[in-house]
């Protein structure tokens, strides 16, 4: 018998280089980006037009992703920028070429 391995994602959105940052957690990054890009969920990301995926991390356990999210939300802004720019120095939208196949 095989055990299903789930993936969870911590992700960071912005609206432009050095713009407003949003940190979230999801179990389906493609679906969540579809929702953000199409402004399907009311709230902070819709209000500020945050739909550019600039950073993400993958976790096997949801509690680990949530713990990281809570921790990062306490960080100084510069620490977050340093983390983003270490992996994505040009703040490219990592989801710009995704094809969204939502059931």
pLDDT at residue 1 greater than cutoff 70: no
Domains of the chain: 8-87 (3.40.1440.10)
| pTM for this entry | 0.90
* Secondary structure E strands in the chain: 8-14, 22-26, 52-59
**What integer pLDDT is reported at residue 99 of this predicted model?**
72
Radius of gyration of the chain (CA): 14
Mean pLDDT value across residues 20-26: 98
Confidence of residue 98 (pLDDT cuts 50, 70, 90): confident
């Amino acid at each position: 018998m095989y055990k299903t391995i789930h993936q969870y994602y911590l992700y960071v959105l912005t609206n432009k280089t050095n713009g407003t940052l949003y940190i979230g957690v999801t179990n389906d990054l493609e679906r969540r980006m579809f929702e953000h890009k199409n402004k399907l969920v009311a709230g902070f990301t819709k209000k500020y037009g945050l739909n550019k995926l600039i950073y993400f991390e993958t976790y096997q356990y949801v509690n680990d992703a949530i713990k990281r999210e809570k921790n990062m939300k306490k960080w100084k802004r510069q620490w977050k920028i340093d983390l983003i720019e270490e992996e994505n120095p040009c703040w490219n939208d990592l989801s710009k070429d995704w094809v969204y196949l939502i059931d």
